[in-house]
Amino acid sequence: MEPRLDPFASPLIGKVFKHLIAANKPIAESSLPYAVQELVRMRASQINGCGACLDMHYKEAVHAGEDPVRLALVAAWRETDVFTDAERAALELAEEGTRLADAAGGVSDEVWENAAKHYDEEQMAALVSLISLINAFNRANVMIRQPGGGYQVGMYGH
């Protein structure tokens, strides 16, 4: 698959991506556990069909020591016993935050309150920011048909 647009050759999208990448820094520095960050990124990327982001976040998570079995089961997290209650709450928030058009009211109060039982206000802010950013990356990559498979750990300064 050939991308429709090279984001690394386009000065405009290159600048936008640099800002999006920079926006991840406060999330990375937050107290939201790294494993939760990568699980959420993977789940949103699965929903959005973003091979480039799935490739990146799978490889980064494995490199950081995450269990590949857990990563392989993210799409079926409800039917597994490998995720904590807190991780499940974050994955559910990621799903509803990614599928906004599928629900009349967006993220339900029940899903929000469940996540808030496990995460403090700053961690919730990190989750909201993280879900928003990965959806932005997913949408851009899907539109330009950025292929997955060639990512190398640390390639974009993560």
* 6-15 pLDDT tens trace: 888 999 998 9
pLDDT tens, position by position, 87-139:
999 999 999 999 998 877 889 999 999 999 999 999 999 999 999 999 999 99
Among 63, 64, 43, 62, residue whose Cα is nearest residue 54: 43
* pLDDT for the residue 101: 85
pTM, to two decimals: 0.94
Answer for the pair 149, 55: CB distance below 8 angstroms, yes or no: yes
Residue 148, pLDDT score = 93
Cβ distance 32 to 123 under 8 Å? yes
Contacts of 84 (CB under 8 A, 6+ apart): none
pLDDT > 70? residue 60: yes
Higher pLDDT, 116 or 155: 116
Give the integer Cα–Cα distance in Å for 152 and 142: 19
User: What pLDDT is recorded for position 7?
Assistant: 84
CATH of 33-144, one of 1.10.1060.10, 3.30.1490.100, 1.10.1040.10, 1.20.1290.10: 1.20.1290.10
Q: Are 94 and 133 in contact (CB under 8 A)?
A: no
158 — pLDDT class (breaks 50, 70, 90): low
**Residue 58 and residue 104: Cα distance in Å, rounded?**
32
- Give the span between the Cα atoms of 4 and 147, in whole angstroms: 10
